[in-house]
A and B are shown apart, each in its own frame.
Chain A
Amino acid sequence: MGVDRHAQEQWGTRIGLVLAMAGNAVGLGNFLRFPVQAAQNGGGTFMIPYFISFLLLGIPMMWIEWGVGRYGGSHGHGSVPGMFDVLTDKKKKWAKYIGVLGVVMPLVVFIYYTYIVSWMLGFSVFSLSGDYFGMGDVDEMRSYLASYQNIFDGSSTGTWVTLGFFLLTFCFLGWVLARGISGGIEKLALIGMPILFLFAFLLLVRVLTLPTMAASPAEGLNFIWNPDFSQLGNAKVWVAAAGQMFFTLSVGMGSIQTYASYLKQKDDVALTGLSTAATNEFAEVVLGGTIAIPAAVVFFGVTGAMAIAQGGTFDLGIVAMGVVFQGLPGPEILGRLAAFLWFFLLFIAGITSSVALASPTIAFLQENFNLTRRKAAGAVTALGLALGMFHVVFYRFKVLDEWDYWAGTFGLVVFAAVEIVLFAWIFGIDRGWDELHKGADIRIPGFYKPVMKWITPLFLFTLLGWWTWTEAIPTLLMETVDDPGTVPYRWVSRGLMLALVVVGMLLIRKAWRRRGEA
Protein backbone atom coordinates (compact mmCIF):
# COMPACT_ATOMS: atom_id res chain seq x y z
CA MET A 1 0.00 0.00 0.00
CA GLY A 2 2.24 2.77 1.30
CA VAL A 3 5.37 1.59 -0.48
CA ASP A 4 3.57 1.66 -3.82
CA ARG A 5 2.31 5.15 -3.13
CA HIS A 6 5.79 6.42 -2.40
CA ALA A 7 7.11 4.81 -5.55
CA GLN A 8 4.41 6.65 -7.50
CA GLU A 9 4.78 10.10 -5.94
CA GLN A 10 8.02 12.05 -5.74
CA TRP A 11 9.29 15.60 -6.01
CA GLY A 12 10.19 16.58 -9.55
CA THR A 13 13.12 18.91 -8.79
CA ARG A 14 15.12 19.79 -5.72
CA ILE A 15 14.50 23.52 -6.08
CA GLY A 16 10.79 22.69 -6.37
CA LEU A 17 11.00 20.78 -3.11
CA VAL A 18 12.77 23.66 -1.34
CA LEU A 19 10.24 26.18 -2.66
CA ALA A 20 7.33 23.93 -1.64
CA MET A 21 8.84 23.54 1.83
CA ALA A 22 9.47 27.29 1.97
CA GLY A 23 5.88 27.79 0.81
CA ASN A 24 4.79 25.62 3.70
CA ALA A 25 6.81 27.70 6.16
CA VAL A 26 6.29 31.17 4.67
CA GLY A 27 2.73 32.05 5.53
CA LEU A 28 0.56 34.72 7.11
CA GLY A 29 2.73 34.47 10.23
CA ASN A 30 5.76 35.93 8.43
CA PHE A 31 4.03 39.08 7.25
CA LEU A 32 1.39 39.61 9.95
CA ARG A 33 2.27 37.78 13.17
CA PHE A 34 6.03 38.43 13.23
CA PRO A 35 5.94 42.25 13.13
CA VAL A 36 3.14 42.31 15.70
CA GLN A 37 5.03 39.99 18.03
CA ALA A 38 8.21 42.02 17.64
CA ALA A 39 6.39 45.26 18.33
CA GLN A 40 4.52 43.87 21.34
CA ASN A 41 7.61 42.37 22.96
CA GLY A 42 10.21 45.07 23.13
CA GLY A 43 11.15 45.49 19.47
CA GLY A 44 14.88 44.81 19.11
CA THR A 45 14.89 43.00 22.45
CA PHE A 46 12.49 40.41 21.00
CA MET A 47 14.97 39.74 18.20
CA ILE A 48 17.64 38.47 20.61
CA PRO A 49 15.62 35.52 22.00
CA TYR A 50 14.14 35.14 18.52
CA PHE A 51 17.53 34.41 16.96
CA ILE A 52 18.54 32.19 19.90
CA SER A 53 15.28 30.25 19.38
CA PHE A 54 16.10 29.95 15.70
CA LEU A 55 19.47 28.37 16.49
CA LEU A 56 18.44 26.13 19.38
CA LEU A 57 14.84 25.30 18.55
CA GLY A 58 13.98 26.10 14.95
CA ILE A 59 16.96 24.66 13.08
CA PRO A 60 17.24 21.42 15.15
CA MET A 61 13.49 20.77 14.94
CA MET A 62 13.57 21.43 11.20
CA TRP A 63 16.34 18.85 10.71
CA ILE A 64 14.60 16.34 12.98
CA GLU A 65 11.29 16.67 11.13
CA TRP A 66 12.98 16.27 7.75
CA GLY A 67 14.83 13.22 9.07
CA VAL A 68 11.71 11.67 10.61
CA GLY A 69 9.78 12.27 7.38
CA ARG A 70 12.38 10.72 5.09
CA TYR A 71 12.87 7.78 7.48
CA GLY A 72 9.10 7.20 7.64
CA GLY A 73 8.82 7.51 3.88
CA SER A 74 11.51 4.90 3.36
CA HIS A 75 9.31 2.54 5.40
CA GLY A 76 6.23 3.36 3.34
CA HIS A 77 4.69 5.93 5.69
CA GLY A 78 3.67 9.41 4.61
CA SER A 79 1.98 10.47 7.85
CA VAL A 80 3.08 10.74 11.45
CA PRO A 81 1.30 7.71 13.06
CA GLY A 82 3.30 5.30 10.89
CA MET A 83 6.47 7.37 11.30
CA PHE A 84 6.24 7.35 15.09
CA ASP A 85 5.58 3.59 14.94
CA VAL A 86 8.78 2.90 12.99
CA LEU A 87 10.78 5.35 15.13
CA THR A 88 10.09 3.04 18.07
CA ASP A 89 10.83 -0.01 15.88
CA LYS A 90 7.12 -0.88 16.30
CA LYS A 91 7.79 -1.74 19.95
CA LYS A 92 5.71 1.01 21.55
CA LYS A 93 2.06 0.56 20.64
CA TRP A 94 1.12 3.99 22.00
CA ALA A 95 3.45 5.85 19.62
CA LYS A 96 1.18 5.53 16.59
CA TYR A 97 -1.80 6.77 18.62
CA ILE A 98 0.11 9.86 19.74
CA GLY A 99 0.89 10.30 16.07
CA VAL A 100 -2.78 11.17 15.58
CA LEU A 101 -1.72 14.71 16.54
CA GLY A 102 0.33 14.88 13.35
CA VAL A 103 -2.79 14.18 11.29
CA VAL A 104 -5.60 15.94 13.16
CA MET A 105 -3.73 19.12 14.11
CA PRO A 106 -2.73 20.05 10.57
CA LEU A 107 -6.25 19.16 9.40
CA VAL A 108 -7.80 21.44 12.02
CA VAL A 109 -5.40 24.28 11.19
CA PHE A 110 -5.91 23.67 7.46
CA ILE A 111 -9.66 24.24 7.85
CA TYR A 112 -9.67 27.53 9.74
CA TYR A 113 -6.47 28.81 8.13
CA THR A 114 -7.89 28.32 4.64
CA TYR A 115 -10.97 30.29 5.66
CA ILE A 116 -8.67 33.18 6.64
CA VAL A 117 -6.74 32.76 3.39
CA SER A 118 -10.03 33.16 1.53
CA TRP A 119 -10.41 36.61 3.12
CA MET A 120 -7.10 37.58 1.50
CA LEU A 121 -8.42 36.54 -1.90
CA GLY A 122 -11.56 38.57 -1.22
CA PHE A 123 -9.58 41.65 -0.19
CA SER A 124 -7.33 41.28 -3.26
CA VAL A 125 -10.44 41.64 -5.42
CA PHE A 126 -11.89 44.45 -3.26
CA SER A 127 -8.56 46.29 -3.59
CA LEU A 128 -8.61 46.21 -7.37
CA SER A 129 -12.28 47.17 -7.50
CA GLY A 130 -11.77 49.87 -4.86
CA ASP A 131 -14.67 48.47 -2.83
CA TYR A 132 -13.41 49.70 0.54
CA PHE A 133 -11.72 52.83 -0.81
CA GLY A 134 -13.42 55.78 0.84
CA MET A 135 -13.29 54.19 4.30
CA GLY A 136 -10.42 56.36 5.34
CA ASP A 137 -10.23 55.70 9.07
CA VAL A 138 -9.51 52.67 11.20
CA ASP A 139 -13.00 52.40 12.71
CA GLU A 140 -14.73 52.39 9.31
CA MET A 141 -12.29 49.82 7.97
CA ARG A 142 -12.74 47.67 11.08
CA SER A 143 -16.52 47.71 10.57
CA TYR A 144 -16.05 46.75 6.94
CA LEU A 145 -13.91 43.74 7.91
CA ALA A 146 -16.30 42.72 10.71
CA SER A 147 -19.19 42.84 8.27
CA TYR A 148 -17.28 40.68 5.79
CA GLN A 149 -16.50 38.15 8.52
CA ASN A 150 -20.11 37.98 9.72
CA ILE A 151 -22.17 36.43 6.94
CA PHE A 152 -25.39 37.53 8.64
CA ASP A 153 -24.37 41.17 8.32
CA GLY A 154 -24.63 42.11 4.67
CA SER A 155 -23.85 45.79 5.20
CA SER A 156 -20.47 45.79 3.43
CA THR A 157 -20.03 43.05 0.86
CA GLY A 158 -23.01 40.76 1.35
CA THR A 159 -23.37 37.20 2.62
CA TRP A 160 -22.71 35.42 -0.63
CA VAL A 161 -19.46 37.22 -1.27
CA THR A 162 -17.83 35.79 1.89
CA LEU A 163 -19.17 32.35 1.07
CA GLY A 164 -18.13 32.67 -2.55
CA PHE A 165 -14.48 33.39 -1.76
CA PHE A 166 -14.51 30.61 0.83
CA LEU A 167 -15.80 28.09 -1.75
CA LEU A 168 -13.49 29.37 -4.48
CA THR A 169 -10.42 29.01 -2.25
CA PHE A 170 -11.33 25.47 -1.19
CA CYS A 171 -12.09 24.40 -4.76
CA PHE A 172 -8.75 25.76 -5.96
CA LEU A 173 -7.00 23.93 -3.12
CA GLY A 174 -8.81 20.70 -3.92
CA TRP A 175 -7.73 21.01 -7.55
CA VAL A 176 -4.06 21.58 -6.62
CA LEU A 177 -4.07 18.75 -4.07
CA ALA A 178 -5.68 16.29 -6.49
CA ARG A 179 -2.91 16.94 -9.05
CA GLY A 180 -0.37 15.42 -6.69
CA ILE A 181 3.08 16.26 -5.41
CA SER A 182 5.04 17.23 -8.52
CA GLY A 183 2.02 18.09 -10.72
CA GLY A 184 0.15 20.22 -8.17
CA ILE A 185 1.96 21.23 -4.99
CA GLU A 186 5.41 21.66 -6.56
CA LYS A 187 4.05 23.62 -9.54
CA LEU A 188 2.10 25.91 -7.21
CA ALA A 189 5.32 26.61 -5.28
CA LEU A 190 7.40 27.13 -8.45
CA ILE A 191 4.90 29.73 -9.70
CA GLY A 192 3.68 31.18 -6.40
CA MET A 193 6.89 31.68 -4.43
CA PRO A 194 8.73 33.87 -6.98
CA ILE A 195 5.55 35.99 -7.29
CA LEU A 196 5.39 36.26 -3.50
CA PHE A 197 9.00 37.44 -3.25
CA LEU A 198 8.52 39.87 -6.15
CA PHE A 199 5.38 41.41 -4.62
CA ALA A 200 7.03 41.63 -1.19
CA PHE A 201 10.07 43.37 -2.69
CA LEU A 202 7.90 45.89 -4.57
CA LEU A 203 5.95 46.67 -1.39
CA LEU A 204 9.15 46.96 0.64
CA VAL A 205 10.51 49.55 -1.80
CA ARG A 206 7.19 51.45 -1.71
CA VAL A 207 7.10 51.51 2.08
CA LEU A 208 10.71 52.62 2.44
CA THR A 209 10.20 55.46 -0.07
CA LEU A 210 7.08 56.82 1.66
CA PRO A 211 7.33 60.49 2.61
CA THR A 212 7.30 61.43 6.29
CA MET A 213 3.69 61.81 7.47
CA ALA A 214 2.92 61.07 11.12
CA ALA A 215 6.45 59.63 11.24
CA SER A 216 9.16 58.52 8.82
CA PRO A 217 9.76 54.96 7.54
CA ALA A 218 13.05 54.98 9.52
CA GLU A 219 11.09 55.57 12.71
CA GLY A 220 8.99 52.55 11.75
CA LEU A 221 12.08 50.39 11.44
CA ASN A 222 13.40 51.81 14.69
CA PHE A 223 10.13 50.77 16.31
CA ILE A 224 10.89 47.12 15.45
CA TRP A 225 14.65 47.04 15.85
CA ASN A 226 15.43 49.36 18.74
CA PRO A 227 15.91 47.19 21.83
CA ASP A 228 14.37 47.87 25.20
CA PHE A 229 16.88 45.93 27.28
CA SER A 230 14.70 46.11 30.39
CA GLN A 231 12.49 43.51 28.68
CA LEU A 232 15.30 40.97 28.15
CA GLY A 233 14.77 39.47 31.60
CA ASN A 234 11.05 39.10 30.97
CA ALA A 235 10.14 35.41 30.47
CA LYS A 236 7.11 36.42 28.41
CA VAL A 237 9.38 37.86 25.70
CA TRP A 238 11.37 34.62 25.50
CA VAL A 239 8.21 32.52 25.32
CA ALA A 240 6.77 34.79 22.62
CA ALA A 241 9.97 34.49 20.58
CA ALA A 242 10.08 30.69 20.92
CA GLY A 243 6.37 30.50 20.04
CA GLN A 244 6.90 32.62 16.94
CA MET A 245 9.64 30.21 15.85
CA PHE A 246 7.13 27.36 15.83
CA PHE A 247 4.52 29.25 13.82
CA THR A 248 6.94 30.64 11.32
CA LEU A 249 8.81 27.42 10.52
CA SER A 250 5.65 25.24 10.68
CA VAL A 251 7.44 22.79 12.97
CA GLY A 252 5.41 20.67 15.40
CA MET A 253 2.68 20.31 12.80
CA GLY A 254 3.18 17.14 10.76
CA SER A 255 3.34 18.75 7.33
CA ILE A 256 7.15 18.86 7.01
CA GLN A 257 7.33 15.13 7.72
CA THR A 258 4.78 14.38 5.00
CA TYR A 259 6.61 16.49 2.41
CA ALA A 260 9.94 14.88 3.40
CA SER A 261 8.42 11.39 3.13
CA TYR A 262 8.37 11.81 -0.66
CA LEU A 263 12.18 12.00 -0.70
CA LYS A 264 14.33 9.10 -1.78
CA GLN A 265 16.43 7.44 0.91
CA LYS A 266 19.67 8.97 -0.39
CA ASP A 267 18.28 12.46 -0.85
CA ASP A 268 19.86 15.11 1.35
CA VAL A 269 17.90 16.49 4.29
CA ALA A 270 20.64 18.47 6.05
CA LEU A 271 21.14 21.18 3.43
CA THR A 272 17.56 21.26 2.19
CA GLY A 273 16.23 21.50 5.76
CA LEU A 274 18.57 24.39 6.52
CA SER A 275 17.61 26.04 3.20
CA THR A 276 13.95 25.93 4.13
CA ALA A 277 14.62 27.52 7.51
CA ALA A 278 16.90 30.18 6.04
CA THR A 279 14.50 31.07 3.21
CA ASN A 280 11.70 31.43 5.73
CA GLU A 281 13.85 33.69 7.91
CA PHE A 282 14.69 35.87 4.91
CA ALA A 283 10.98 36.23 4.18
CA GLU A 284 10.25 37.03 7.81
CA VAL A 285 13.12 39.19 9.03
CA VAL A 286 13.94 41.08 5.83
CA LEU A 287 10.53 41.29 4.12
CA GLY A 288 7.95 40.70 6.85
CA GLY A 289 9.58 43.16 9.25
CA THR A 290 9.87 45.93 6.68
CA ILE A 291 6.33 46.26 5.33
CA ALA A 292 3.36 46.36 7.72
CA ILE A 293 4.79 48.01 10.84
CA PRO A 294 6.88 50.71 9.11
CA ALA A 295 3.88 51.54 6.88
CA ALA A 296 1.58 51.76 9.91
CA VAL A 297 4.09 53.96 11.76
CA VAL A 298 4.33 56.36 8.82
CA PHE A 299 0.55 56.80 8.77
CA PHE A 300 -0.42 56.52 12.44
CA GLY A 301 2.78 57.42 14.25
CA VAL A 302 4.59 55.19 16.73
CA THR A 303 1.87 55.45 19.40
CA GLY A 304 -0.93 54.81 16.91
CA ALA A 305 0.87 51.86 15.32
CA MET A 306 1.59 50.40 18.76
CA ALA A 307 -2.11 50.62 19.64
CA ILE A 308 -2.98 48.90 16.36
CA ALA A 309 -0.36 46.18 16.88
CA GLN A 310 -1.84 45.49 20.32
CA GLY A 311 -5.17 44.87 18.58
CA GLY A 312 -3.69 41.85 16.80
CA THR A 313 -2.66 40.64 13.39
CA PHE A 314 -5.88 41.40 11.49
CA ASP A 315 -6.09 44.91 12.90
CA LEU A 316 -2.63 45.53 11.51
CA GLY A 317 -2.68 43.45 8.32
CA ILE A 318 -6.18 44.19 7.06
CA VAL A 319 -7.61 47.21 8.90
CA ALA A 320 -4.53 49.43 9.22
CA MET A 321 -3.03 48.41 5.89
CA GLY A 322 -6.39 48.98 4.23
CA VAL A 323 -6.31 52.57 5.48
CA VAL A 324 -2.63 52.98 4.57
CA PHE A 325 -3.21 52.03 0.92
CA GLN A 326 -6.05 54.53 0.64
CA GLY A 327 -3.76 57.30 1.84
CA LEU A 328 -0.77 56.57 -0.40
CA PRO A 329 0.46 59.65 -2.29
CA GLY A 330 -0.41 59.71 -5.99
CA PRO A 331 -3.42 58.58 -8.02
CA GLU A 332 -5.90 56.22 -6.35
CA ILE A 333 -5.19 53.48 -8.88
CA LEU A 334 -1.63 53.14 -7.54
CA GLY A 335 -3.01 52.73 -4.03
CA ARG A 336 -5.40 50.05 -5.27
CA LEU A 337 -2.55 48.29 -7.03
CA ALA A 338 -0.35 48.35 -3.91
CA ALA A 339 -3.27 47.03 -1.84
CA PHE A 340 -3.74 44.22 -4.35
CA LEU A 341 -0.02 43.36 -4.14
CA TRP A 342 -0.29 43.16 -0.35
CA PHE A 343 -3.43 41.05 -0.10
CA PHE A 344 -2.51 38.78 -2.99
CA LEU A 345 0.93 38.31 -1.45
CA LEU A 346 -0.82 37.18 1.73
CA PHE A 347 -3.11 34.92 -0.32
CA ILE A 348 -0.11 33.20 -1.99
CA ALA A 349 1.72 32.90 1.34
CA GLY A 350 -1.41 31.36 2.85
CA ILE A 351 -2.39 29.05 0.02
CA THR A 352 1.07 27.43 -0.22
CA SER A 353 0.84 26.76 3.53
CA SER A 354 -2.72 25.42 3.19
CA VAL A 355 -1.72 22.73 0.68
CA ALA A 356 1.00 21.61 3.09
CA LEU A 357 -1.46 21.50 5.99
CA ALA A 358 -3.86 19.28 4.04
CA SER A 359 -1.11 16.88 2.94
CA PRO A 360 -0.69 14.79 6.15
CA THR A 361 -4.37 13.75 6.16
CA ILE A 362 -4.27 12.94 2.44
CA ALA A 363 -1.12 10.84 2.95
CA PHE A 364 -2.73 9.12 5.96
CA LEU A 365 -5.78 8.12 3.92
CA GLN A 366 -3.67 6.99 0.97
CA GLU A 367 -1.25 4.84 2.91
CA ASN A 368 -3.73 3.26 5.29
CA PHE A 369 -6.91 2.94 3.25
CA ASN A 370 -5.47 2.53 -0.21
CA LEU A 371 -7.24 5.60 -1.59
CA THR A 372 -5.99 7.20 -4.79
CA ARG A 373 -4.53 10.69 -4.48
CA ARG A 374 -7.61 12.12 -6.22
CA LYS A 375 -10.06 10.43 -3.85
CA ALA A 376 -8.05 11.28 -0.74
CA ALA A 377 -7.72 14.92 -1.84
CA GLY A 378 -11.46 15.01 -2.57
CA ALA A 379 -12.30 13.58 0.86
CA VAL A 380 -10.08 16.08 2.71
CA THR A 381 -11.37 19.02 0.68
CA ALA A 382 -15.00 17.96 1.30
CA LEU A 383 -14.34 17.55 5.03
CA GLY A 384 -12.59 20.92 5.07
CA LEU A 385 -15.54 22.56 3.35
CA ALA A 386 -18.06 21.00 5.73
CA LEU A 387 -16.18 21.88 8.92
CA GLY A 388 -15.08 25.20 7.45
CA MET A 389 -18.75 26.15 7.16
CA PHE A 390 -18.91 25.89 10.95
CA HIS A 391 -16.38 28.73 11.13
CA VAL A 392 -18.04 30.72 8.38
CA VAL A 393 -21.41 30.59 10.15
CA PHE A 394 -20.25 30.92 13.76
CA TYR A 395 -17.13 33.07 13.36
CA ARG A 396 -18.59 35.85 15.48
CA PHE A 397 -18.77 33.49 18.47
CA LYS A 398 -14.98 33.07 18.47
CA VAL A 399 -15.07 29.38 17.55
CA LEU A 400 -11.98 29.93 15.38
CA ASP A 401 -10.01 31.20 18.38
CA GLU A 402 -10.44 27.83 20.10
CA TRP A 403 -9.07 25.88 17.16
CA ASP A 404 -6.25 28.37 16.71
CA TYR A 405 -5.19 28.11 20.34
CA TRP A 406 -5.43 24.35 20.89
CA ALA A 407 -4.30 23.09 17.48
CA GLY A 408 -2.37 26.04 16.08
CA THR A 409 -0.56 27.22 19.19
CA PHE A 410 -0.44 24.95 22.23
CA GLY A 411 -0.67 21.72 20.23
CA LEU A 412 2.47 22.54 18.23
CA VAL A 413 4.62 22.56 21.35
CA VAL A 414 3.03 19.36 22.70
CA PHE A 415 3.63 17.58 19.41
CA ALA A 416 7.22 18.82 19.09
CA ALA A 417 8.00 17.75 22.67
CA VAL A 418 6.74 14.23 21.97
CA GLU A 419 8.57 14.07 18.68
CA ILE A 420 11.95 15.10 20.04
CA VAL A 421 11.72 12.54 22.85
CA LEU A 422 10.93 9.83 20.30
CA PHE A 423 13.75 10.92 17.99
CA ALA A 424 16.56 11.77 20.42
CA TRP A 425 15.81 9.37 23.24
CA ILE A 426 13.81 6.37 21.98
CA PHE A 427 15.07 6.12 18.40
CA GLY A 428 18.38 7.30 19.84
CA ILE A 429 20.47 10.36 19.06
CA ASP A 430 23.30 8.29 17.52
CA ARG A 431 20.98 6.55 15.08
CA GLY A 432 19.19 9.81 14.49
CA TRP A 433 22.45 11.64 13.77
CA ASP A 434 23.46 8.96 11.25
CA GLU A 435 20.00 9.12 9.68
CA LEU A 436 20.28 12.89 9.19
CA HIS A 437 23.64 12.46 7.46
CA LYS A 438 22.53 9.85 4.91
CA GLY A 439 23.13 11.46 1.52
CA ALA A 440 23.82 14.79 3.25
CA ASP A 441 25.35 17.59 1.19
CA ILE A 442 26.62 19.33 4.32
CA ARG A 443 27.90 18.11 7.67
CA ILE A 444 25.69 19.31 10.51
CA PRO A 445 27.91 21.06 13.10
CA GLY A 446 28.79 18.57 15.86
CA PHE A 447 27.47 20.74 18.69
CA TYR A 448 23.94 20.16 17.37
CA LYS A 449 24.10 16.55 18.57
CA PRO A 450 23.99 17.48 22.30
CA VAL A 451 21.67 20.35 21.44
CA MET A 452 19.15 17.88 19.96
CA LYS A 453 19.48 15.52 22.88
CA TRP A 454 19.48 18.01 25.76
CA ILE A 455 19.04 21.68 24.95
CA THR A 456 16.10 21.57 22.52
CA PRO A 457 14.05 19.14 24.69
CA LEU A 458 14.78 21.28 27.76
CA PHE A 459 13.78 24.41 25.85
CA LEU A 460 10.58 22.68 24.66
CA PHE A 461 9.52 21.31 28.01
CA THR A 462 10.21 24.65 29.71
CA LEU A 463 8.06 26.34 27.08
CA LEU A 464 5.38 23.71 27.45
CA GLY A 465 5.37 24.00 31.26
CA TRP A 466 5.22 27.79 31.13
CA TRP A 467 2.39 27.84 28.61
CA THR A 468 0.44 25.17 30.47
CA TRP A 469 0.65 27.11 33.71
CA THR A 470 0.13 30.63 32.43
CA GLU A 471 -2.16 30.11 29.44
CA ALA A 472 -3.47 26.62 28.80
CA ILE A 473 -5.12 26.03 32.17
CA PRO A 474 -6.84 29.46 32.34
CA THR A 475 -7.86 29.05 28.68
CA LEU A 476 -9.18 25.54 29.29
CA LEU A 477 -11.28 26.83 32.19
CA MET A 478 -12.52 29.72 29.99
CA GLU A 479 -11.16 32.22 32.51
CA THR A 480 -9.89 34.45 29.73
CA VAL A 481 -13.17 34.65 27.80
CA ASP A 482 -14.37 38.25 27.66
CA ASP A 483 -17.83 37.52 26.21
CA PRO A 484 -19.77 34.86 28.20
CA GLY A 485 -22.21 34.52 25.29
CA THR A 486 -19.49 32.76 23.26
CA VAL A 487 -18.85 30.01 25.86
CA PRO A 488 -21.36 27.39 24.55
CA TYR A 489 -20.08 27.84 20.99
CA ARG A 490 -16.50 27.54 22.17
CA TRP A 491 -17.34 24.21 23.84
CA VAL A 492 -18.92 22.93 20.63
CA SER A 493 -15.77 24.02 18.82
CA ARG A 494 -13.61 22.06 21.26
CA GLY A 495 -15.96 19.08 21.00
CA LEU A 496 -15.50 19.00 17.22
CA MET A 497 -11.72 18.94 17.61
CA LEU A 498 -11.95 16.19 20.20
CA ALA A 499 -14.24 14.19 17.91
CA LEU A 500 -11.65 14.45 15.13
CA VAL A 501 -8.96 13.14 17.48
CA VAL A 502 -11.17 10.18 18.51
CA VAL A 503 -12.06 9.37 14.90
CA GLY A 504 -8.39 9.63 13.99
CA MET A 505 -7.41 7.17 16.70
CA LEU A 506 -10.13 4.72 15.62
CA LEU A 507 -8.90 4.93 12.03
CA ILE A 508 -5.34 4.25 13.20
CA ARG A 509 -6.54 1.17 15.10
CA LYS A 510 -8.49 -0.02 12.08
CA ALA A 511 -5.54 0.51 9.74
CA TRP A 512 -3.10 -1.36 11.94
CA ARG A 513 -5.58 -4.21 12.40
CA ARG A 514 -5.94 -4.49 8.65
CA ARG A 515 -2.20 -4.97 8.47
CA GLY A 516 -2.30 -7.44 11.33
CA GLU A 517 0.01 -5.24 13.40
CA ALA A 518 -2.37 -3.79 16.02
Chain B
Amino acid sequence: MTPFALGFMIVSMLTVTCLAGWCLSKIVKTPPPGDD
Protein backbone atom coordinates (compact mmCIF):
# COMPACT_ATOMS: atom_id res chain seq x y z
CA MET B 1 0.00 0.00 0.00
CA THR B 2 1.47 3.37 -0.94
CA PRO B 3 2.11 5.83 1.93
CA PHE B 4 -0.27 8.34 0.35
CA ALA B 5 -3.10 5.79 0.03
CA LEU B 6 -2.52 4.64 3.63
CA GLY B 7 -2.54 8.23 4.94
CA PHE B 8 -5.59 9.19 2.89
CA MET B 9 -7.48 6.11 4.05
CA ILE B 10 -6.63 6.66 7.72
CA VAL B 11 -7.51 10.37 7.67
CA SER B 12 -10.80 9.73 5.82
CA MET B 13 -11.87 6.88 8.07
CA LEU B 14 -10.93 8.75 11.24
CA THR B 15 -12.81 11.86 10.10
CA VAL B 16 -16.10 10.08 9.38
CA THR B 17 -15.79 7.95 12.52
CA CYS B 18 -15.18 11.00 14.71
CA LEU B 19 -18.02 12.94 13.07
CA ALA B 20 -20.48 10.07 13.55
CA GLY B 21 -19.26 9.48 17.11
CA TRP B 22 -19.52 13.17 18.03
CA CYS B 23 -23.06 13.44 16.60
CA LEU B 24 -24.34 10.31 18.32
CA SER B 25 -22.74 11.16 21.67
CA LYS B 26 -24.27 14.65 21.51
CA ILE B 27 -27.68 13.15 20.74
CA VAL B 28 -27.44 10.74 23.65
CA LYS B 29 -26.40 13.55 26.03
CA THR B 30 -28.98 16.12 24.87
CA PRO B 31 -32.32 15.88 26.67
CA PRO B 32 -35.38 15.79 24.40
CA PRO B 33 -37.42 19.01 24.18
CA GLY B 34 -40.42 19.27 26.48
CA ASP B 35 -43.92 19.17 25.01
CA ASP B 36 -45.71 22.44 24.42
Tell me, yes or no, whether A binds B: yes
Which residues of A line the B interface, CB within 8 A? 14-15, 18, 43-44, 47, 51, 218-219, 221-222, 224-227, 264-268, 271-272, 274-275, 278-279, 281-282, 285-286, 439, 441-442
Q: Which one of B4, B9, B36 lies within 8 Å of A221 (CB-CB)?
A: B9
| B5 shortest CB reach to chain A, Å | 4
A278 touches B23 (CB 8 A): yes
Choose among B17, B30, B36 the residue that contacts A266 (Cβ–Cβ < 8 A).
B36
A410 to B33, CA, bound (A): 39
15 contacts between A and B (CB under 8 A): A15-B28, A47-B8, A218-B1, A221-B5, A224-B9, A225-B8, A226-B2, A265-B36, A268-B30, A274-B23, A275-B27, A282-B17, A285-B13, A286-B16, A441-B26
Chain B residues at the A interface, C-beta cutoff of 8 Å: 1-2, 4-6, 8-9, 12-13, 16-17, 19-20, 22-24, 26-28, 30, 32-33, 35-36
A506 to chain B, nearest CB (A): 38
CB-CB under 8 A for A14 and B32, given A285-B16, A442-B26: yes
By the criterion CB–CB under 8 Å, are A286 and B17 in contact?
Answer: yes
- For the complex, what is the distance from the CA of A227 to the CA of B19, rounded to whole Å? 24
Contacting pair B23 A275 (CB below 8 A): yes
A15 touches B12 (CB 8 A): no
- Residue among B5, B23, B24, B28 with most chain A CB within 10 A: B23
Known: A221-B1, A439-B33, A441-B30. 8 other contacts (CB 8 A): A224-B9, A225-B1, A226-B5, A272-B27, A275-B20, A278-B19, A279-B24, A442-B26
Contact B30 A271 (CB under 8 A): yes
Q: What residue of chain A has the Cβ atom nearest to residue B26's Cβ?
A: A271
Neighbouring B residues of A51 by C-beta, 8 Å? 12
B9: chain A residues at CB < 8 Å are: 221, 224-225
Q: Which residue of A lies closest to B33 (CB)?
A: A266
Q: How far is the CB of A485 from chain B (nearest CB, A)?
A: 44
